[in-house]
Amino acid sequence: MASDAERIKVWDLFVRVFHWSFAVAIIFAWLSHEWRGGGRFLHVWFGYGALGLVGLRIVWGVIGTRHARFTDFVQTPVNDVRYLASLATGREKRYLGHNPLGGLMVIALMLATLGLGLTGYYMTQRGAALLGLGRRDLQHLHGLIGDLFVVLVPLHILGVVWESVRHRENLLTAMFTGWKRPD
């Protein structure tokens, strides 16, 4: 293991606890989505848990540590495209925090969670009429956003594996420990 002089703290405790708590909440919400009875109760509460976590992460994205802040990893569309082009040539820059595509993934997962949380809330509170939608429309939209997660999560995992291999750095370990090499 590298010494502290050869590593830098990138992911603070909040980001790491958020990441793994969010993953657990999403996994259990997804696993319980077809359950009946008490399982439905678990689905709703794991969904609310994920929604609450995203709310906290939004606050931390404004006031948190350097690499937790949105200003550190949310790029302009031009920079996102440049980064994507650099991937194609194998000359992408290594980032200590999230790279531009990682930043897009964070935003996509958060927006999808907000969409799931709001549609789920209105379904359970019989608020579809407030949105001008029928209950079935709201259920369909909730399901579509859930299906989006089934695409986003594997893309996120593939991105982590890709970056870990390309930059010879175990990002999974970094998300547990918070440490990365500085160069």
Phi, psi of 35 (to 5 degrees): -70, 155
In angstroms, the CA 83 to CA 34 distance is 39
pTM: 0.90
Q: Is residue 3 exposed (0-12), middle (13-18) or buried (19+ Cβ within 10 Å)?
A: exposed
Query: What structural domains and CATH numbers belong to the chain?
Result: 7-180 (1.20.950.20)
Task: Say what the pLDDT of residue 128 is.
Answer: 64
pLDDT mean across residues, the chain: 91
Task: Say what the pLDDT of residue 2 is.
Answer: 55
121-161 pLDDT tens trace: 888 766 666 666 777 888 899 999 999 999 999 999 999 99
Q: How far apart are the first and last CA of the chain?
A: 16
